[in-house]
Chains A and B, each alone.
Chain A
Amino acid sequence: MILLVLLGVPLAAALLLAFVGDRKLAPEINILGSAATCVAGFALALEVYEHGPMMAGGKFFFVDAFNVYLAVLTSFVSMTTAVFSRRYMRREREHGRVGQVRMRFYHAMYQLFIFAMLLCLLTNNIGVLWIAMELATLSTVLLVSLYRTPTAIEAAWKYFILCGVGISQALFGTVLLYFAAEKVLGEGGDALLWTNLNQVSGQLEPTVLSLAFVFLMVGYGTKVGLVPLHNWLPDAHSEGPTPISAVLSGLLLNIALYALVRCKVLVDGSTHTHHAGNIMMGFGLLSILVAAFSLLRQKDVKRMFSYSSIEHMGIATFAFGLGGPIATFGALLHMLVHSLAKSAIFFTVGHASQMHRTQEMDKIQGLFRGNPLVGWGLMFGVMAIVGMPPFGIFTSEFLILTATIKDAPLLTPFLLLGLGVAFAALFRKVQPMVAGEIPSHQRPLKVAHFPVLLHMALVLVLGLYLPDFLSQWFHTAVELLK
């Protein structure tokens, strides 16, 4: 029942917003819809917390500790982003960057995107998982090109083509997985249900599954933005409207990683080797290093933070690949805190570039004096994202680092190098933006306070103290992913 509400509300809101169009109340309906989704997400989490994993709709939906926390995160961040988007998009309209038709489209697609992500998380069928992932891509393609500038269209085209190609590989992997499953479970939709597959994963043909994982890795890895399949990501995240950048970076990457990890569990159960884990570690480490060095060369502020997203997804992928309770716990926590911190950063960056009417970092200055919330929000956001204590990312990175030193000591220097370079690069770039005098082209701006403050507070709290229910959740999830 709660599941139905959780999935139904964004879908209904999408339809409603398509009808309402660009009326005065559209942003409020958007917020209301997202808030209702968020409440349903929390209610679902409560139920799973009390009664354990559950299935619904004739095994079609499956909720356990791993996906429910991501569902809560997704619905929560999409709510705060909707709040941010109200102020932000109003300003964009005043600047004449978007018109009526596009605003209608923007709101409807935003809700559809949330629906697609939640369907991805909650479905038990890995075929439907693929379909929902593709739907999530398709619903955001035209949002990336919302401003219709040449660069925005180029970015969206790249996003469409590269993710389309990537995700086709994942479908081939899914076909192979079904091929192996059919032998054990018989044909029909049941053979693609993750819960069934997980029960019999020991009997699945290991050669087929290791081959399938290569295709799945390339496919979903493209969506996670892992190097060398990351080319679309900085473009798509920097050219779209900022609320979209925030949900792409904060949520969609997580969902793709979730799909990959679900598949990894099956492959591990079948092969009993570290084959899948090794591939993930390789991709992860490469992403961390390449992204960290790319950070140094960036001039566009949103582009820089999208490279930072690649780096962080690399860290989480690496940790999932490493396996073991500590690394997996770290990776789960990392997905949570990165998502919160990164979307908060995008909120402040969005406002900062509106104040200066540019995304070039050279021209953004004096944020502390110009608007303390934006300035300090950005500063603290960056401190959190580079992994300074006492923020939550420090905790997760520390856990992952300890596990690396224990299980793969030879890789520790590379990991540390990546983290160190990213730290230096981000600080060097952000310092001049926040400090200094107010430049003449800076305009004052009414900003959305609530989303930034809430996200930063949560990241801080999660660094200082991990609530019991959350750590218990993560422990259950770690058990599941073993």
Chain B
Amino acid sequence: MDLQTAAQINSFLAAFVLLTAFGMLVQKRIYSLIHLFAWQGLLLSINTAIVGYVASKHHLYISSILTLSLKVFLLPYILHVLIVRLRIRREVETLVNIPMLMLIGLALVIFSYHLMAPVSELSKLITRSTLAVALATVMIGLLMMITRKHAVTQIIGFLAMENGLFFAATSATYGMPLVVELGVALDVLIAAFIFGIFFFHIHTTFDSLDVDQMARLKEGD
């Protein structure tokens, strides 16, 4: 595979990562949301493997396998099990209307391109053009967390942000040093257990996973 092809494949995958991010932003059904998240993980994993192959960075294979097992299989599985166990209703509503969300998302993409333009110019890597997409994925994940009022969707937004960060590391520098990658994966894993426990606590205490009900701690006057 020559560099030109690899760069094209990389951009192609980046476009799909962004597409899944937008898909998650407006997806109302919780199962579809988890599937989208798994797809995003798969795209990232393929992308990482290709970059690792072209740039002959072998530690990227490890990151790729880690992403595959963690974000494509384990986390969606955990979420799935939790949803079945807690009997969560399938529809999840969004806060702002969907066209509005799309527009805000678009604005975030343009903003990311603007912010990353000087940085991409400095880079000589084949992946430099996708750095802005990575930041946009982080931002859209953030937007998702703000607009959703359901604990599970907030967590998926959080994990989507993490995907964006992983993508950013691959695009900017062909991945962080291995010790850092492993540490981050460990943190994500611990976080997964913690939110799993949390779902049960919230469910038993508030009888639903709507975060809206948690509004007791406000500033009194």
Pair A151/B195 contact, Cβ less than 8 Å: no
Question: B15 near A: Cβ within 8 Å?
Answer: no
> Smallest distance from the beta carbon of A302 to chain B beta carbons, Å?
12
Known interface pairs A150-B206, A207-B119, A208-B122; A138-B191 also in contact (CB < 8 Å): yes
Question: B45 near A: Cβ within 8 Å?
Answer: no
Chain A residue contacts of B219, Cβ below 8 A:
294, 297
Rounded to whole angstroms, the CA-CA distance of A227 and B194 in the bound complex is 27
Q: Which of A141, A151, A156, A165 interacts with B216 by CB under 8 Å?
A: A151
> Smallest distance from the beta carbon of A137 to chain B beta carbons, Å?
9
Known interface pairs A127-B176, A150-B205, A208-B119; A175-B168 also in contact (CB < 8 Å): yes
Pair A171/B173 contact, Cβ less than 8 Å: no
Q: Which of A198-215 contact B (CB under 8 A)?
A: 205, 207-208, 211
Q: Which of A125, A161, A182 interacts with B158 by CB under 8 Å?
A: A161
Pair B217/A154 contact, Cβ less than 8 Å: yes
Please report A residues at the B interface, Cβ cutoff 8 Å. Answer: 125, 127-128, 130-131, 134-135, 138, 141-142, 145, 148-151, 153-158, 160-161, 164-165, 168, 171-172, 174-176, 178-179, 182-183, 187-189, 191-192, 205, 207-208, 211, 235, 239, 294, 297, 299
Known interface pairs A154-B214, A154-B217, A157-B202; A205-B122 also in contact (CB < 8 Å): yes
Q: Which of A131, A149, A164, A207 interacts with B183 by CB under 8 Å?
A: A131
**Interface of A (DSSP majority class):** helix
Chain B residue contacts of A134, Cβ below 8 A:
187, 191
> Smallest distance from the beta carbon of B58 to chain A beta carbons, Å?
12
Chain B residue contacts of A207, Cβ below 8 A:
118-119, 122
Q: Which of B41-90 contact A (CB under 8 A)?
A: none
Please report B residues at the A interface, Cβ cutoff 8 Å. Answer: 115, 118-119, 122-123, 135, 138, 142, 145, 151, 154, 158, 161-162, 165, 168-169, 172-174, 176-180, 183-184, 186-187, 190-191, 194-195, 197-198, 201-202, 205-206, 211, 214-217, 219-221
Chain A residue contacts of B138, Cβ below 8 A:
168, 172
Known interface pairs A138-B187, A239-B217; A127-B180 also in contact (CB < 8 Å): yes
Q: Which of B119, B123, B172, B180 interacts with A131 by CB under 8 Å?
A: B180
Chain B residue contacts of A131, Cβ below 8 A:
180, 183-184, 186-187
How many interface contacts (CB-CB < 8 Å) are there between A and B? 131
Rounded to whole angstroms, the CA-CA distance of A172 and B168 in the bound complex is 8
Pair A160/B190 contact, Cβ less than 8 Å: no
Pair B180/A138 contact, Cβ less than 8 Å: no
> Smallest distance from the beta carbon of B132 to chain A beta carbons, Å?
12
Chain A residue contacts of B122, Cβ below 8 A:
183, 205, 207-208
Rounded to whole angstroms, the CA-CA distance of A182 and B190 in the bound complex is 29
Chain A residue contacts of B184, Cβ below 8 A:
130-131, 171
Q: Name the residue in A175, A205, A211, A297 with the highest tally of chain B Cβ atoms < 10 Å from its Cβ.
A: A175
Pair B119/A168 contact, Cβ less than 8 Å: no
Q: Which of A158, A187, A235, A297 interacts with B173 by CB under 8 Å?
A: A187
Pair B194/A188 contact, Cβ less than 8 Å: no
Q: Could you name 24 residue pairs across A and B whose Cβ atoms are closer than 8 Å?
A: A128-B179, A131-B184, A131-B186, A135-B190, A138-B191, A141-B194, A142-B194, A145-B198, A150-B205, A150-B214, A151-B216, A154-B214, A154-B216, A158-B217, A168-B162, A172-B138, A174-B176, A175-B165, A175-B168, A175-B169, A191-B177, A207-B118, A297-B220, A299-B220
